[in-house]
Structure formats: C-alpha cells, structure tokens
C-alpha cells in the first residue's frame, strides 16, 4: 500500500513538476527505522506519570479505562508489545503524522479521533472524552514512543504488511487450520481463555467479547496480514499467505457485535471490497 502511494506521488510530481499543490496533496512520508525507547527510560515526574498511565491503558485497557471498554480485548491484543511491534500497527511514530486524511471517515482525523475509532470498533466500547486523563495518558505514551521520529515521517513497519492469497480464501479450509493451529490458545469456540482473576490470557477472536464488524481486524485483508506476520504466537511466519487468508476468512465471519456507525464509513465511495 505504501509502495503504491509512493509511486503515485512520484508520478504526479514528475508529470506536474511545476505544481506544488499537487505534490503536497499526494504527500508521501519518508520512512525511518522503528526504534521505540525502552520502557525503563520513561522519565520521572508528572510527564513520566502520564506516560506510564498511557502504557498501562494499552496493556490493561479494562483495568484502567473500564467505562470505555466493551469487550475482553486490550490495545496490546493487536498492537503487540505495547505498540512497539512492526507490522502489528505500531503506536510508535504516530505523533508527527496526525492529523491525517483517512478514507474510512472521508475526512482529516486527529490522533484523538483515531484512538477513539479503536475504542468504538476494536474495543466495541465508547469514545474517550478529548480532555480525559485517559486520553492525555495515551497521547503522552504515544508521543514518548514517537521520540526521535521526525514530524511527517513514518516508521518502517507501520500498519500491517499487505499480503495476497494465490487463490480465493476458503473458510472451510480455514476452520481446519484454526482447529490445528489457533484453538489451543484462542479456544475451540473462539472465546479465548481466562486466567485468574477473570482476566484473559488468550483473547477471544469472535463472539460478544471480541471486536465488532466495524473494526479493521474484521476485514479479511487486514486479519490475514496480521495473522501471517504475527500468529500463531511463538511460531509467527509459519502460515502461507493462502493459509492466512483461509483462517482469516473463517474467524472474521464468525458471529461478533455489529457496529451501527458502519453505514457512514467510506462516504466518498471508495469502500474496500472486504469492508463489512
Ligand atoms: C482487534 C484489534 C485491535 C485492538 C484491540 C485495538 N486496535 Fe488500534 N488498530 C487496529 C487496526 C487493525 C488498525 C489499523 C491499522 C492500519 O490502518 O493499517 C489500528 C490502528 C490504530 C491506530 C492508528 C495507527 C496508524 O498507523 O495510523 C491507533 C492510534 C490505534 N489503533 C490505537 C488503539 C488503542 C489506543 C487501542 C486500545 C484502546 C486499540 N487501538 C485497540 C486494531 C486494533
Ligand atoms: C500460543 C498461543 C497462541 C496461538 C497458537 C495463536 N495465538 Fe493469536 N494471540 C495470542 C495472544 C496471547 C494474543 C494477544 C497478544 C497480547 O495480548 O499481548 C493473540 C492475538 C490474536 C489476535 C488479535 C486479538 C483478537 O483477539 O482478535 C488475532 C486476530 C489472533 N491472535 C489470531 C490468531 C490465529 C488466526 C491463530 C492461528 C493461526 C492464532 N492467533 C494462534 C496467542 C496465540
């Protein structure tokens, strides 16, 4: 996806090399290495406290922001390693990129809006008030993770690594893969596994406690990209692109909460084929 954007920006710039406006519209961020600071380097003092609070929200979302969480997931269920992992939508490097145009919304979105998209969809919950302690903590944590990334630059490994299956995705083959390679952790019924005291050790992939149909992870291409790169945890990279698509076709289409706001998504008519 990034490569496609880079090519089109280059094409526009070379076709209209006199037009600054066009070049700016098709702005392509420079890429820099993903090098988030170590957790031990969070500073002392009030700013450090806010950063640590934001980090706790990412790793224990229900324990810190319960009123806004509607399922058993935590931010780090998908933003692995507390938002430091490449190709698991790292949170590092975002501070200097937002506000950003997003086609799902059809408008320019702030980082607060983007965080709340995940509260509403991935967490099936409620939006954080802009001035809440929770939102300030998340912004402080993301800003700290983004230290050293120049404004307007994008880290390598932002988002997910897009993959393409050689053939159509097959959910019944996917079920066989699920039972063999995923069920041991996520449960035969996809409901995850609870440890004590009631906290999930392995998060649910479907059902009332998982992400809703409006979430990015509910899209076949996004789920396949995440799974091929990051799952099965501990054995990541062992599924072929086809297997990742097959298993994603199986678990994304299992029952999960609806998302009322989905009818307003992609208002400009560029709705992706796998949007729900
Ligand atoms: C079910 C998985 C899932 C959970 C849980 C989740 N997210 Fe996300 N998040 C995603 C996906 C998928 C994207 C889209 C990445 C992309 O655009 O390529 C995303 C994108 C983001 C982005 C923008 C990333 C970028 O590169 O622009 C932010 C910020 C974010 N999430 C914050 C959060 C926060 C904070 C939480 C917890 C409250 C959370 N997310 C929980 C899946 C999840
Ligand atoms: C060894 C245990 C293990 C195996 C096997 C495993 N996962 Fe996961 N998976 C996890 C854990 C743990 C997380 C959450 C990471 C965190 O919270 O730090 C996760 C997160 C996820 C998520 C995002 C969160 C959610 O609940 O939606 C998806 C999707 C996912 N796994 C799919 C799969 C698929 C598909 C397979 C099989 C190909 C698989 N996993 C195999 C342990 C596992």
- Output the pLDDT for position 197: 77
Domain co-membership, 8 together with 64: no
Domain closes at, from 155, 185, 212: 155
Shortest-distance Cα residue to atom 41 of ligand 1:
75
- Output the pLDDT for position 11: 38
Q: Where are the alpha helices (DSSP H) in the chain?
A: 2-15, 20-25, 45-59, 61-65, 75-78, 80-83, 111-120, 133-145, 171-181, 183-186, 220-230, 241-252
How many structural domains are present in the chain?
3
Q: Which domain holds residue 220?
A: 171-264
256 within 8 A of 207, measured Cβ to Cβ: yes
Domain closes at, from 155, 182, 205: 155
| Site of tokens 């993301």 | 142
88 within 8 A of 81, measured Cβ to Cβ: yes
The answer as to whether 259 is a domain residue is yes
The answer as to whether 141 is a domain residue is yes
Domain co-membership, 55 together with 130: yes
Cis peptide before 197 (omega within 30 of 0): yes
Domain co-membership, 119 together with 227: no
139 within 8 A of 53, measured Cβ to Cβ: no
- Output the pLDDT for position 17: 37
CATH assignment at residue 236:
1.10.760.10
Instruction: Compute the distance from residue 149 Cα to the ligand 2 centre, in Å.
Output: 29
Shortest-distance Cα residue to atom 2 of ligand 1:
78
- Output the pLDDT for position 15: 38
- Pocket test residue of 68, 76, 79, 266 for ligand 1, highest count of atoms within 8 A of CB: 79
Domain co-membership, 175 together with 259: yes
Domain co-membership, 183 together with 82: no
The answer as to whether 131 is a domain residue is yes
User: What are the respective helix, strand and coil percentages of the chain, to the nearest 5?
Assistant: 45, 5, 50
- The binding-site residues of ligand 2, defined as CB within 6 angstroms of any ligand atom, are 73-74, 76-78, 80, 181-182, 184-186, 202-205, 210-211, 217, 223, 226-227, 231-234, 239, 247, 251
Domain co-membership, 135 together with 183: no
Domain co-membership, 2 together with 103: no
pLDDT by residue, tens only, the chain of 276 residues: 333 333 334 333 333 333 344 444 457 889 999 999 998 999 999 999 999 999 999 999 999 999 999 999 999 999 999 999 999 999 999 999 999 999 999 999 999 999 999 999 999 999 999 999 999 999 999 999 999 999 999 999 999 999 999 999 999 999 999 999 999 999 999 999 998 777 899 999 999 999 999 999 999 999 999 999 999 999 999 999 999 999 999 999 999 999 999 999 999 999 999 999
Domain co-membership, 39 together with 132: yes
Q: 171-177: long-range contacts (C-beta < 8 A, 24 or more apart)?
A: 171/246, 171/249, 171/250, 171/253, 172/250, 173/243, 173/246, 174/245, 174/246, 174/247, 174/248, 174/249, 174/250, 174/251, 175/250, 177/239, 177/243, 177/246, 177/247, 177/250
The ligand minimizing its distance to the Cα of 222 is 1
The answer as to whether 84 is a domain residue is yes
Domain co-membership, 145 together with 117: yes
- Output the pLDDT for position 151: 96
**Is the CB–ligand 1 distance for residue 222 below 6 Å?**
yes
Q: Is the dihedral of CA 194, 59, 214, 223 positive or negative?
A: negative
Q: Which residues pair with 155 in a beta bridge?
A: 32
The answer as to whether 136 is a domain residue is yes
Shortest-distance Cα residue to atom 1 of ligand 1:
122
Domain co-membership, 17 together with 112: no
The answer as to whether 165 is a domain residue is no
Domain co-membership, 94 together with 112: yes
Instruction: Compute the distance from residue 114 Cα to the ligand 1 centre, in Å.
Output: 8
The answer as to whether 217 is a domain residue is yes
- Pocket test residue of 56, 77, 237 for ligand 2, highest count of atoms within 8 A of CB: 77
Ligand 2 atom closest to the Cα of residue 80 is 18
Instruction: Compute the distance from residue 195 Cα to the ligand 1 centre, in Å.
Output: 25
Domain co-membership, 120 together with 144: yes
Domain closes at, from 97, 128, 155: 155
Whether pTM exceeds 0.85 = yes
- Output the pLDDT for position 26: 58
């Amino acid at each position: 996806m990034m490569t496609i954007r880079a090519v089109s920006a280059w094409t526009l710039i070379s076709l209209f090399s006199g037009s600054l406006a066009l070049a700016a519209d098709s702005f392509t961020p420079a890429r820099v290495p993903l090098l988030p600071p170590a957790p031990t380097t969070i500073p002392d003092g009030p700013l450090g406290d806010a950063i640590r609070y934001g980090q706790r929200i990412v790793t224990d979302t229900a324990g810190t922001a319960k009123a806004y969480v509607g399922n058993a997931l935590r931010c780090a269920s998908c933003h692995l390693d507390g938002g430091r992992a490449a190709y698991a939508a790292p949170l590092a490097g975002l501070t200097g990129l937002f506000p950003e145009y997003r086609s799902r919304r059809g408008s320019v979105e702030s980082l607060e809006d983007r965080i709340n998209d995940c509260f509403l969809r991935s967490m099936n919950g409620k939006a954080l008030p802009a001035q809440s302690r929770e939102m300030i903590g998340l912004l402080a944590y993301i800003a700290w993770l983004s230290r050293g990334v120049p404004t307007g630059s994008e880290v390598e490994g932002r988002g997910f690594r897009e993959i393409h299956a050689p053939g159509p995705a097959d959910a019944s083959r996917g079920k066989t893969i699920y039972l063999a390679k995923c069920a041991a952790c996520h449960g035969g019924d996809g409901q995850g596994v609870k440890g004590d005291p009631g906290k999930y050790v392995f998060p649910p992939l479907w059902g009332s406690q998982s992400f809703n149909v409006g979430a990015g992870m509910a899209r076949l291409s996004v789920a396949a990209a995440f799974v091929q790169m990051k799952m099965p945890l501990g054995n990541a990279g062992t599924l072929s692109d086809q297997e990742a698509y097959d298993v994603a076709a199986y678990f994304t289409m299992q029952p999960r909460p609806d998302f009322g706001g989905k009818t307003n998504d992609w208002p400009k008519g560029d709705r992706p084929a796998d949007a729900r």
